[in-house]
């Protein structure tokens, strides 16, 4: 009964005209950036963070969430129609989706992707609502040492499951944690790594850093690429799948939804890992694996369901435990911190309308996306003909104004420019930037919980190992590190990432 009562609170919040408007704007923008190659949800959310200063917290989070899961829908459109994934989680959809389009079945492939995404989004949101209460109640039992161990485990698993070499991922996590030390030490009041610059006394501002590394640097990288697309122009008809299509796609949708719901919760999981894992599973279970890569409808239904389910359930560890499972969730932490909301178990108890309003808005947003995507597919494909060089100047100008508006000063603009150069260097060196942001976001919380644990134990560090829960979490982190260092495991991981 509590679940229905809480959902009623959520729908009352999500149905407010302003929240409906921002949900629609987020879904529309998410679809747009999902369609346009180059600007993913990560860069877009990073660049829109300044706008959220002027919004109510629930409206800001509803809009940013809409961008995230809306991009999963939009990415599938270009993946199917022009063999070009607009978003990384739609890469596997190109394999069979484009083949279906070449066979004149683009409409069926698009409908399969939309139906699978809608079904998975609804189921995953229900899972999010059902699991939120028990996980939050469990998290309230955690003390400083348990939270410290949980965050260490989260960072390790995020590095293990994310793409790129493990050692480099851990190195970037440490660099992010070092950057989080800049500013005033809250215990002693002394300055750390501020170099006498007053603007750094409160630490590095999250918004210009995220915007520079993930937004501006991404734009600069895209300018190096040829923006001429070989657009396949074809009339899209026959959207409704046949009975045989339904017979093949429904089991794949169910499996994709279950897999995405599970993997989205894991640190390092989310939409990308879910879609790749679902495609591998469908190919292994199929009686006709030779059809994969030649237009198998299961190769569209499974991954598209999985990536949307993973996108929705990746909110679970953030909202209940305060641990972002991927870099997009780390940006959501930044958005919440802007409004003095600390992610974790207290969000549900102190901000129930925001918590349940965000969850309920995902149902509303999924329905909006279903309506937006199929009838407007022609418009989305037309957008691909706009040269990228015409888009980036306006994006850069508006984002720079947004950064300037944070404190009405130029320091943040310079800061974003410096981190743009830094982000571009990371791209050129092929170093993952995502773990850096996770380290930056979790660094202060790790330091705070470690200090509290040491104060309560009077400086006895063994308290981290004498508590069964924190010892178990740290042991799990150590086992994950040892496993990934084994040559066999490491080789299989690299092989899986290569695939």
Q: Is the pLDDT of residue 268 over 70?
A: no
> What per-residue confidence (pLDDT) applies to 216?
83
Q: Is the pLDDT of residue 456 over 60?
A: yes
Q: Is the pLDDT of residue 264 over 60?
A: yes
Mean pLDDT of 46-68: 83
CA distance 201 to 350: 29
> What per-residue confidence (pLDDT) applies to 496?
61
Beta carbons of 32 and 67 less than 8 angstroms apart: no
CA-based angle 372:28:308, to the nearest 5?
75
CA distance 415 to 148: 30
Sign of CA dihedral 451, 456, 460, 461: negative
Looking at every residue in the chain, the average pLDDT score rounds to 81
Beta carbons of 146 and 468 less than 8 angstroms apart: no
Instruction: Identify the residue with better confidence: 356 or 344.
Output: 356
Neighbours of 493 (CB within 10 A): 18
Q: Is the pLDDT of residue 10 over 70?
A: yes
- Residue 192 host element (H or E): strand 191-192
> What per-residue confidence (pLDDT) applies to 91?
73
CA distance 44 to 88: 14
Q: Is the pLDDT of residue 386 over 80?
A: no
Q: Is the pLDDT of residue 45 over 60?
A: yes
Beta carbons of 161 and 481 less than 8 angstroms apart: no
CA contacts within 13 A on the Cβ side of 201? 6
> What per-residue confidence (pLDDT) applies to 494?
65
Sign of CA dihedral 231, 232, 237, 243: negative
> What per-residue confidence (pLDDT) applies to 499?
56
Say if residue 428 is exposed, middle or buried (CB neighbours under 10 Å; 0-12, 13-18, 19+).
Answer: exposed
Beta carbons of 351 and 4 less than 8 angstroms apart: no
DSSP code for 135: H
CA distance 107 to 373: 11
- Backbone phi and psi for residue 98, each to the nearest 5 degrees, phi listed first: -70, -35
Q: Is the pLDDT of residue 48 over 60?
A: yes
Beta carbons of 41 and 328 less than 8 angstroms apart: yes
Nearest to 325 by CA among 494, 130, 162, 144: 162
Instruction: For residue 171, name the pLDDT band (cuts at 50, 70, 90).
Output: confident
pLDDT digits (tens, 9 = 90+) for 295-339: 888 888 888 888 888 888 888 888 887 778 777 788 888 888 888
Terminal C-alpha separation, the chain: 45
Mean pLDDT of 461-466: 85
Q: Is the pLDDT of residue 358 over 60?
A: yes
pLDDT digits (tens, 9 = 90+) for 209-237: 888 887 788 788 877 766 555 555 556 66
pLDDT digits (tens, 9 = 90+) for 279-293: 888 888 888 888 888
| Six token digits for residue 148 | 């410290």
Mean pLDDT of 59-80: 82
Instruction: Identify the residue with better confidence: 90 or 229.
Output: 90
* Distance of alpha carbon 241 from the chain centroid: 30
CA distance 192 to 351: 33
Q: Is the pLDDT of residue 188 over 80?
A: no
Neighbours of 476 (CB within 10 A): 16
> What per-residue confidence (pLDDT) applies to 21?
92
Residue count of the chain, please give it: 499
Q: Is the pLDDT of residue 467 over 60?
A: yes
DSSP 435-495: HHHHHHHHHHHHHHHHHHHHHHTTT-TTHHHHSHHHHHHHHHHHHHHHHHHSHHHHHHHHH
Instruction: Identify the residue with better confidence: 498 or 442.
Output: 442
Beta carbons of 100 and 80 less than 8 angstroms apart: yes
> What per-residue confidence (pLDDT) applies to 29?
85
Neighbours of 80 (CB within 10 A): 32
> What per-residue confidence (pLDDT) applies to 130?
82
């Amino acid at each position: 009964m509590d679940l229905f009562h809480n959902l009623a609170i959520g729908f009352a919040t999500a149905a407010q005209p302003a929240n409906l408007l921002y949900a629609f704007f987020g879904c529309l923008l998410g679809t747009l950036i999902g369609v346009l190659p180059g600007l993913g949800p990560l860069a877009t959310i990073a660049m829109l963070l300044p706008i959220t200063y002027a919004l109510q917290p629930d409206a800001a989070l509803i809009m940013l969430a809409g961008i995230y899961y809306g991009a999963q829908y939009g990415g599938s459109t270009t993946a199917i129609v022009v063999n070009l994934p607009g978003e990384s989680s739609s890469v596997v959809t190109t394999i069979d989706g484009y083949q279906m389009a070449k066979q004149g079945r683009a409409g069926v492939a698009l409908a399969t992707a939309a139906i699978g995404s809608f079904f998975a989004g609804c189921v995953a949101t229900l899972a999010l609502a059902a699991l939120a209460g028990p996980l939050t109640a469990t998290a309230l039992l955690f003390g400083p040492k348990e939270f410290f161990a949980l965050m260490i485990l989260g960072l390790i698993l995020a590095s293990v499951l994310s793409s790129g070499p493990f050692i480099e991922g851990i190195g970037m996590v440490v660099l992010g944690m070092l950057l989080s030390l800049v500013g005033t030490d809250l215990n002693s009041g002394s300055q750390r790594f501020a170099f006498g610059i007053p603007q750094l006394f409160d630490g590095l501002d999250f918004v210009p850093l995220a915007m520079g590394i993930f937004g501006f640097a991404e734009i600069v990288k895209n300018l190096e690429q040829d923006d001429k697309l070989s657009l396949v122009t074809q009339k899209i008809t026959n959207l409704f799948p046949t009975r045989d299509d339904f017979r093949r796609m429904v089991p794949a949708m169910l499996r994709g939804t279950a897999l995405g719901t599970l993997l989205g919760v894991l640190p390092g999981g989310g939409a990308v890992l879910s879609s790749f894992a679902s495609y591998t599973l469908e190919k292994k279970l199929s009686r006709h694996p030779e059809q994969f890569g030649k237009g198998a409808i299961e190769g569209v239904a499974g991954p598209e369901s999985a990536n949307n389910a993973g996108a929705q359930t990746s909110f679970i560890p953030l909202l209940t435990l305060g641990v972002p499972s991927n870099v997009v969730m780390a940006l959501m932490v930044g958005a919440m911190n802007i409004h003095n909301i600390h992610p974790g178990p207290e969000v549900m108890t102190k901000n129930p309308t925001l918590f349940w309003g965000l969850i309920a808005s995902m149902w509303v947003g999924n329905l909006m996306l279903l309506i937006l995507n199929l009838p407007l597919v022609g418009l989305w494909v037309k957008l691909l003909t706009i040269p990228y060089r015409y888009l980036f100047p306006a994006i850069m100008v508006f984002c720079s104004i947004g950064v300037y508006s944070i404190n009405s000063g130029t320091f943040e603009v310079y800061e974003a420019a410096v981190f743009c150069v830094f982000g571009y260097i990371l791209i050129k060196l092929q170093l993952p930037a995502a773990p850096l942001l996770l380290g930056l976001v979790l660094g202060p919380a790790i330091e705070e919980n470690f200090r509290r644990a040491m104060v309560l134990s009077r400086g006895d560090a063994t308290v981290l190992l004498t508590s069964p829960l924190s010892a178990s979490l740290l042991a799990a982190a150590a086992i994950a590190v040892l496993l990934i260092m084994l040559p066999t495991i490491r080789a299989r991981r690299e092989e899986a990432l290569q695939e």
